[in-house]
Amino acid sequence: MFPTYNSTDSEGFTFMSLCHQPKSRGNVSLASSSIDDQPNIDPAYLEHPDDVNCSIKAIRLGLAIIDTPKFQELGARPHLPDFKECRHLPQDYHDDDYAECVVKVAGITGHHPSGTCVMGEDWLDSVVDLSLRSDKLIKPILY
């Protein structure tokens, strides 16, 4: 399912999937009181088992698709990446441990770090003013 990364003499295709309601929750905190310091960001990707299972189900769906007659006519077969972190496991996506290992090593996010909060002129109905200033917040947490 993964094309060879550095080969120009072979063709391939990639199934991309995204679990739209992840249960893993990361956090953002201030590194210091200095505006020049970058915040501490821990996205905690794939920390919740349901998120891992969702990704494994997507892999298994991809396997079922390439096992259809039309894909088999094309000679489609899954690519088993040679990740050193997964070499101790049976190289088979039907093996739960191997599938989980590949998900955790090669998984990427489709989410973009962002957030929203109410902005406005009235402090009672907004978190920040039109210049992104807050008032009387000791420990602001904006979601």
> What pLDDT does 7 receive?
61
* 33 vs 11: which has the higher pLDDT: 33
> Distance between CA 111 and CA 22 in Å, rounded?
10
> What pLDDT does 31 receive?
93
**DSSP structure string for 35-95:** TTSPPEEE--TT-SHHHHHHHHHHHHHHHHHHTSHHHHHTT--------GGGTTS-S-TTS
Q: Kindly state the percentage of the chain with pLDDT values over 90.
A: 46
**DSSP structure string for 21-41:** S-----EEE-SSS-TTSPPEE
CA distances from 91 to 1, 25, 87, 102, 119 (A): 14, 30, 7, 10, 51
Confidence band, pLDDT 50/70/90 cuts, at residue 55: very high
> What pLDDT does 143 receive?
47
Averaged pLDDT of the chain: 84
> What pLDDT does 5 receive?
56
Q: For the residues 81-106, what does the mean pLDDT come to?
A: 94
Tokens of 120: 């406005």
Is 88 noted as a catalytic residue in this protein? no
For the cut 50, the answer to whether the pLDDT of residue 97 exceeds it is yes
Q: For the residues 62-81, what does the mean pLDDT come to?
A: 92
Confidence band, pLDDT 50/70/90 cuts, at residue 140: low
> What pLDDT does 2 receive?
45
